[in-house]
Amino acid sequence: MAVVASAPGKVLVTGGYLILERPNSGIVLSTNARFYAIVRPLYEEIKPESWAWAWTDVKLTSPQLSREAFYKLSLKNATLQCTSSRDSINPFVEQAVQYSVAAAQSLLNDTNKKDSLKNILLQGIDITILGCNDFYSYRNLIFGPQYLQNAVIDVMKEKWDNERAPFSLPPLMELLLGEPGTGGSSTPSMVGAVKRWQKVDPEKSLSVWKCLAEANALVENQFKALSRVAEEERQVYKDTLIRCSELTHNQWSERMTDEREKTVINLLQGVRDAFLQIRSCMKQMGEAAGVPIEPESQTQLLDATMNIEGTLLAGVPGAGGFDAVFAITLGNAKQRVAQLWTSLRVLPLLVKEDPHGASLENGDPRILNLSADILSIQIR
């Protein structure tokens, strides 16, 4: 029997670099593009001689990348040894498998449960990894695989020391992602460069850090205030955002006369101004550290995007670089941004915000999606 788990792709809108240090926070938007892990026994039955085995077999498959790797997993210490070509391996996936098995073993104190786990492992592990085709293809990682060592166990024991609070965009706002196609960026090396800059110039880096923290908090608070207004003054909020979606940002205040509309406009402008401050500080940080957090090509693209009617803000997600851009638009303005990006050879992605988090699935997403497609066919 297969177990299928999924998690959403995520976009770090604010908090790049700062979230590596407490007590800083960031805004993460989850998307409808999901990643899946399908785990099933490699063999139908336990082989009679398996009682003496010290190792079991593991197969890792990534169909979309045409990769397949085989391993031996130590039943004693949960370490993997690759038995196939090293060209097909992924150290992050390897670490995740090792520490997931180690965590399961450490959490089971009952002898019968430990024996049951061993029997499951003796059947071998067949793991298939899938990513939604709509999601962008780059990797944006803020840590190396070695950091997974204690994280899995801590999470399972509810000792994960981060703080989490629900967040979603206010109504009538949409997230749009784009892929410029101008090459990737190495997030770990960029983080390393920023860390070195902090040590070399602590006074300047602390000033930039403080500026970023204040602007990040302001963006979050303004978004939350907009959500409250949307709840308390629904019609005013709706009418204001629809009107703003047809205007450039410098026309918002000029065209609004009602005091309640101005409240919404002030909050929108507050989000926008704070985010421009974030972009400015991030660019300063990149220049000081010698890494392209917001390279000039991205700056030109983001400035053009933010000048489109109905665009609230635009930026580079996560640690920045050349990999991707995002925009948050009002009303139906998303299509205008997509048209601009397309004209500049930036690929708009079929991804949108979705608050659905990590979950267990009912089956293989490839089969479920195929069934949905078949059901949607109209026979005339």
Residue 376 lies in a domain: no
Q: What residue numbers bound the domain in which 99 lies?
A: 43-123+136-156
Q: Are residues 332 and 228 in the same domain?
A: yes
Comparing CA positions, the residue from 245, 216, 226 lying closest to residue 169 is 226
The angle, 0 to 180 degrees and rounded to 10, between the axes of the packed helices 259-289 and 234-244 is: 60
Domain of 301: which CATH number? 3.30.70.890
Same domain for 188 and 257: yes
Based on the fold, state whether residues 326 and 224 are members of the same structural domain: yes
The reply to whether 17 falls in a domain is: no
Identify whether residues 80 and 146 lie together within a single domain.
yes
Instruction: Report pLDDT for 92.
Output: 80
Q: What share of the chain is helix, strand, coil (3-state, %, to 5)?
A: 50, 20, 30
Q: What is the pLDDT of residues 224-241, one digit of tens each?
A: 999 999 999 999 999 999
Give me the pLDDT at residue 263, please. Answer: 93
Q: Is residue 265 located within the same domain as residue 304?
A: yes
Which pLDDT belongs to residue 75?
87
DSSP letter assigned to residue 376: T
In a domain, 33, yes or no: no
Task: Evaluate whether 178 touches 11 at the Cβ level (below 8 Å).
Answer: no
pLDDT tens-digit readout, 182-211: 666 677 788 899 999 999 999 999 999 999
User: Does some domain include residue 130?
Assistant: no
- Tokens at 141, concatenated: 């990682």
Residues 52, 191, single domain; the answer is no
Q: What is the pLDDT of residue 175?
A: 95
Based on the structure, what is the number of domains in the chain?
A: 2
Supply 81's token pair: 């040894």
Are 296 and 207 part of one and the same domain?
yes
Token pair of 169, please?
């965009």
Q: Which of the residues in the chain have pLDDT under 50? A: 136-149, 370-380
- Asked if residue 355 has a cis previous peptide bond (ω within 30° of 0), the answer is no
Q: Are strands 311-315 and 80-82 parallel, antiparallel or unpaired?
A: unpaired
Q: Which residues are 125's β-sheet partners?
A: 41, 58
